[in-house]
Structure 1
């Protein structure tokens, strides 16, 4: 008898070797409670399964919504008009992107956690490390030393340990009462969190036997400074401290860029983030090795690009990327915006306009009250500081929206026979598709792709309402429903877009647009906060009252009642049913 043909027998166990990753002891780590050597959980991460319910090892889960799929018809569309996934039953408690769960070299390059509204207690981290690693030869290296010399706030600590890194990390975690876990299988790095994620320390093994040899393998001189963990003078064999004083960015050696082509992009990031001037030989070497960026994993590329866009000088960072020859390889669609002329309402080409919109977005993010009224300033600042996805806040995601909102204009340009540009029909719809494709290529989360695609799709809508002032409640409701979860974000993007206008009649256009934005902002904020009228009648009740079967017509009726309720045209159940009956009669007549 052949086992493969007999139901219930699973003879070919030899296949397990081909899928070894499926059977690793940490494959269910996302569901298990953290052990002393495993990563901890933030308050918004998925809780372990409840005791007494199918345990915690991957068996069936009867929690509400755990296996619920789409029961009828096709999936609904998201705010960008794309098919979306089922809504997360945990609402705003979704699990964040977990870069501490990346494997191999991606973990070693993973960026830090997003801002949480509080600084990490770095002094407590150093005290814990000094106490736990007393007797070990260890050095504080990299960004922690550099940022302390610059007077910048520290978020975490990097240590180099001359010894068993795994044992050192686990001992530190045990002493501190926090979790530890490996970051890189290839490099032997580990990460330790303090209690309640109060601090973070990354530990890496000493390379090539001495700290001086280890520092010689680093990218830039400002990152090649070490300080003994237990105290002592700085070790600065390459003059990094002097470079910081002179605001200069230099490579450590000619092998810096060949060793890791991502360092070319890091050059642009450090220059813009730290306001340093790259020296000419370093720039020349970076240009030479820029093509190597195409061999770097997309996740690592986006981690650096994200920090350029999020820093205080993103336009300068993007300009340096272009000068180094990176933009054409990382964001060719952005490079294609150069030289694309616009209509009479814009003096600048699409690329320069996009950079101006990005600047205005940064200014709006820094002080929204100065543009939209001080009564909204604090609330908008808090809104833009909310974490969204991919270690980005909503404010930083808004910057990506500014960067990609006109990305489809080259493909949508309409020109007269005499060369006059008429406009860019459908560039919002095509831009949503292209923005999603770009972020998918960069391996971002689906949530970020959907968010930025929706910003591109709807960035023109507020401008259309200018021609319908005063905006009636029904039209406002249509705007809020169409923009959905990005209603407030896209309103802010629309303001930044209008502030970047420099063409004919620009001053009047900007003034009218700002008046409209200020007028609608209270309603948009209320919608974002969930302050929406409750349905006056349920769908099953309406179907019974009108003798209708479930279907598209019933959905249209419910949408009409929602608009009528928001506009104040109906206020109770009986009025809603009567309104629906009249609407049906008018439709059929």
Structure 2
């Protein structure tokens, strides 16, 4: 049962109200129902306030929907959206909806389904079908919702609906970026994210929403890759999804539960760290077309500094999509640092100083970017790939205890305050002091020093060696 539905039925049993859309659809699909949509034949504002008073939660008007209100349940456990009836009756209201599976209603008090477009039949057939030919012209965002529903619900769009969606895909450019990102992030978060992205490309949406991703098609890589950059990117996304599903299978069962819980943590823009990691997978190589380096004979040599430029491009893309600063910064750091773990492969066994440098440079996305690096390596198939992958995974497993501890905030306390150290060695604030503090911190992490006196002696020796 649904707590939201129970609350609505108890509070609004005397109103002319219908349960519509996703709640009816999801119940027929056997999915959980947390958020519900209601159509009210009457005073929506009064109904919303009455419901809010009954459950002890807030009620407020939705600015982007004419006449609609939202009620939030206690502890934000659920939400109910109430909208005024469009047209002269519930059947006319349903005719204005996007897909038949969403054009089903049920009296809130209970009763037979109102299903004039056979949405229930389409659910049984796992079919996604537009209600009328006006569905996409009325709101071009519905083209993206087609991809989202297909990958979230496992429904197959019927051919006429696909054709109509392609025709109206250019209209997505007129839709507010916030609405586009709200749908796009759900595609990325879905169980069939790669299928959703492929459907977006087929509909002509990707070229308009994320042209940088489309630009990866056909970009060749070196002999250590047997996919172009685009297909490699989707393979990295698949590898991230697999890590989310069962991190222990790749990284060791002793880490599986903790990493799964970490990836389930809320991050920003209603996304978890796991979904943000999926965005990182999509965008980590986004600057490769601009940085491709070829030999005189045309052979691809590599993509120098694509990690640095990629961080900039990633931030620009997420800014265009109106993502929050928290998400922009987080995903840009994933792009910037996704190569660092691979660099450490050449320095095994990794000593404490190199480990400390990795932890500091990748902070605060140390564990996130380590997981992205693992997925990137798993998706890299080509010359000597099996050997390289095994070495990379061995290194990740070896460093994971320290990485997890660092991400959890389990770090050595500073051996002494920076101002105290500066005074002890007679150094004024400036770049040299910053370098010195990093050196002392690294020496402390590597257990080369353990007392303030040793820190001062180490600092003096370090300064003397550099002529200070």
| Shorter-chain TM band | over 0.9
Counterpart for residue 535 of structure 1? 414
Deviation at 1:184, TM superposition (A): 3.1
Alignment pair present for 1:202 and 2:73? no
Name the CA distance, whole Å, in 2 between partners of 1:474 and 1:289: 56
In the TM superposition, what whole-angstrom CA distance separates every residue of 1:208-237 from its partner, at most 9, and x where no partner exists?
020000000000000000010001000000
Q: Is 1:553 the counterpart of 2:439 in the alignment? A: no
- Candidates 379, 400, 405, aligned match of 2:284: 405
Deviations 1:45-97 (A, max 9, x none): xxxxxxxxxxxxxxxxxxxxxxxxxxxxxxxxxxxxxxxxxxxxxxxxxxxxx
| Structure 1 residues 495-533: Cα deviation after superposition (integer angstroms, max 9, x where no partner) | 000000111001000000000000000000000011111
Mapped partners of 1:530, 1:356: distance in 2 = 32
Cα distance in 2, alignment partners of residues 430 and 185 from structure 1: 36
Distance change in 2, residues 1:453/1:198 (3 Å): closer
* 1:86-235 paired onto structure 2 within 5 Å: 123-184=2-63, 186-235=65-114
Task: Map 1:325-344; keep pairs closer than 5 Å.
Answer: 325-344=204-223
1 CA distance for matches of 2:369 and 2:246? Answer: 17
* SS at structure 2 position matched to 1:213: helix
Counterparts of 1:361 and 1:124, CA distance in 2 = 33
Give CA-to-partner distance per residue, 1:421-445, whole Å, 9 cap, x none.
Answer: 0000010001000000000000000
**Structure 1, unaligned stretches of length 5 or more?**
1-121
Aligned mates of 1:405, 1:198 — CA distance in 2 = 34
Matched residue pairs, number? 468
1:254 aligns with 2:136: no
Aligned residue in 2 for 1:314 = 193
Residue of structure 2 equivalent to 1:433: 312
1-side partners of 2:50 and 2:404: how far apart? 49
TM-score, structure 2 normalization: 0.99
Q: Which residue of 2 is the match for residue 78 of structure 1?
A: none
Pairwise CA distance, 1:186: 4.8
Partner of 1:416: 295
Runs of 4+ in structure 1 over 3 Å off: none
Gaps of 5+ in 2: none
Q: In the alignment, does 2:442 pair up with 1:563?
A: yes
Task: Give the Å deviation of 1:553.
Answer: 1.4
- Once the two structures are superposed, residues 24-61 of structure 1 have per-residue CA deviations (whole angstroms, 9 ceiling, x without a partner) of xxxxxxxxxxxxxxxxxxxxxxxxxxxxxxxxxxxxxx
- Local SS of the residue matching 2:363: helix
Q: Is the 8 A contact 2:140 2:171 kept in 1?
A: yes
- 1:538-558 alpha-carbon deviations (Å, 9 max, x no partner): 111112211221222111111
The aligned residue for residue 454 of structure 2 is 575
TM-score, normalized by length of structure 1? 0.79
Residue 302 of structure 1 corresponds to which residue in structure 2? 181
Give 1 or 2: higher helix fraction.
2
Q: What's the counterpart of residue 333 of structure 2?
A: 454
Which residue among 348, 354, 370 is the counterpart of 1:469? 348
Aligned residue runs from structure 1 range 234-253, under 5 A: 234-253=113-132
Aligned partner of 2:464 in structure 1 is 585
Whole-angstrom CA distance in 1 between matches of 2:77 and 2:294 = 58
